[in-house]
Amino acid sequence: WQMIKDELLLPFIDLKTEYYDLGLEYRNQTNDQVTIDSAEATKKYGVAVKCATITPNAARMTEYDLKEMWKSPNGTIRAALDGTVFRA
């Protein structure tokens, strides 16, 4: 995302962004509130770019010392936006 912004967008447009860290470490620190906050910002601004994230499993629980097995951020955001998945 950083490279896309720096090389493909910012040279051509004045882009104001808000950043929400959806990495497991920060989701764990915020008790996944950051995911909810990012969904609320998406509703407010009507647009978002979301990069790949890890949905935890048992191995990730140990690896990242997670407080709990957080839900998929994709699902949390999709539910907050009343969204759906399209597959072709």
- What are the Cα distances from residue 35, in Å, to 3, 8, 42, 44? 23, 26, 11, 14
For 41, counting Cβ atoms within 10 Å of its Cβ (0-12 exposed, 13-18 middle, 19+ buried), the class is middle
- Per-residue pLDDT tens over the stretch 3-62: 988 999 999 999 888 999 999 999 999 999 999 999 999 999 999 999 999 999 999 999
Give the number of C-alpha atoms closer than 13 A to the C-alpha of residue 6, restricted to the C-beta side: 3
| 50-23-76 Cα angle (round to 5) | 60
Domain ranges within the chain, ordered by starting residue: 18-80
Is 0.75 surpassed by the pTM of this model?
A: yes
